[in-house]
Amino acid sequence: MQQFGEFLASEGRPLRVQDIRPDDIRAFEQALFGKGFKSSTVNNRHRGVQSFFKWLTAEEELDTNPMLKVAAPQIKEVRPLVIVTEQQWQRLLRSCEGKEFTQRRDMAIVRLFLATPMRLSELADLRVQDVDFQNGKVRVLGKGGQYRDCPVTAKAEAAVDRYLRRRAEHRHAAAPWLWLGPRGRMTHSGVYQMIKDQARAAGFPELHPHEFRATFAANWLRDGRTEQGLMRIAGWSSRAMIQRYTTLAADELAAEEYRRAQPGDAL
């Protein structure tokens, strides 16, 4: 709504909610497309404005909801999620090797992505106090402000421990946030960009951090582990996402079986 208000002001359009018309909302969404925003992002903004006007109508601040005449932007098909292969993981880990602060930090981040189904935002929001070496887990703040415990592997724990020793020498070591950059806290976008840079250095620039989560879930299900266990550590309250990753795991398993069988090559 702040973005919407800024757009209205910059265009000299009405700012009183009673004066806003469907064309003003359509112009806002077209402006977002003009700035290069993806259809999924514009659809998200649409739903935000929609919720606001729905509330205004329910509170009887408006007689007519202008959003009723504004169609939601269609979300264009995006690149499907893919499984990160073992070879890609190995190359990514090699690209993070080293003893310097940034190398220790990047290795710890990649190891946590490899060992857990954490979202990018969840990993970026970790605090030092969330790391529990005694019980081999990290405490994650998930969607809806709900905390959950994420177990970590021995290698991930070791990578975080090595990073923390370097972090103790950082000039912002007193900050509560786990991940630090040169000027303090490492933001969500900072973690995202680091992953993109390391993936590019490892030779696969199209990698998206969310594919780490998808890979963990697909491998978990492919290896015959329970859906309930995955839902618990991934922070899902419904099976909707399970179905998506079940399909992804099945596709990957079928591809592996095909590679092993090499049908027709015996002729």
- The CB density around residue 213, as the number of other CB atoms within 10 Å, is 22
> CB under 8 Å to 241, separation ≥6 — which residues?
217, 234
- Computed on alpha carbons and rounded to an integer, the radius of gyration of the chain in Å comes to 23
What residues are paired with 139 via a beta bridge? 149
DSSP state of 226: -
Q: What three-state secondary structure class fits 38?
A: coil
User: Is the Cα dihedral 102, 103, 108, 111 positive or negative?
Assistant: positive
Q: So what's the pLDDT on residue 232?
A: 87
Domains of the chain with CATH codes: 2-69 (no CATH), 86-256 (1.10.443.10)
Q: pLDDT tens string for the chain (267 positions)?
A: 999 999 999 999 999 999 999 999 999 999 998 888 888 889 899 999 999 999 999 999 999 999 999 998 887 655 566 788 888 899 999 999 999 999 999 999 999 999 999 999 899 999 999 999 999 999 998 877 889 999 999 999 999 999 999 999 999 999 999 999 998 999 888 999 999 999 988 888 788 888 898 888 888 888 888 888 988 888 887 777 777 766 766 666 676 667 777 777 666
174 CB burial (10 A radius; 0-12, 13-18, 19+): exposed
Token digits of residue 123: 């990993």
Tell me, yes or no, if the pTM score tops 0.85. Answer: no
Q: So what's the pLDDT on residue 214?
A: 85
Q: So what's the pLDDT on residue 45?
A: 92
